[in-house]
Amino acid sequence: MTRQRSPKKGETIEIRLPFATKTAFMARCRDDGRTVSEAVRGFIDSDLSQSLPAKARRLRGWSILAAATAGLALGAAAAPSLAETKPRSQAAFIQLDSNNDGVLSFDEFRRN
């Protein structure tokens, strides 16, 4: 059985940080039991594995906003008709509940 080697890590990226940020990050990595390189590689791998590119994520956000706005508009248009339904429902129930016990039996329902 041959073991597959991980790709050689020969490339570097240089970034500029304030000294305090660098030392704080190095201390956090040490406390977590990992190297700075492992932490940075993990961040890069995580960023690359995201399913949608940044432009697509922005478009998805706008789509969600548009759908929410449309839903609110439809809800506002439907609200008056829903408000009118309740009193009619209550009146229909009162008419069906012939013995006025607040419970609609099958016989009461079947009679109407």
Which percentage of the chain shows pLDDT scores above 90? 1
Compute φ and ψ for 72, nearest 5 degrees: -65, -40
Tokens of 101: 């016990």
pLDDT at 78 > cutoff 70: no
Torsion of CA 39, 45, 51, 53, to 10 degrees: 90
For residue 85, the model assigns a pLDDT of 53
Read off the pLDDT band of 102 (50, 70, 90).
confident
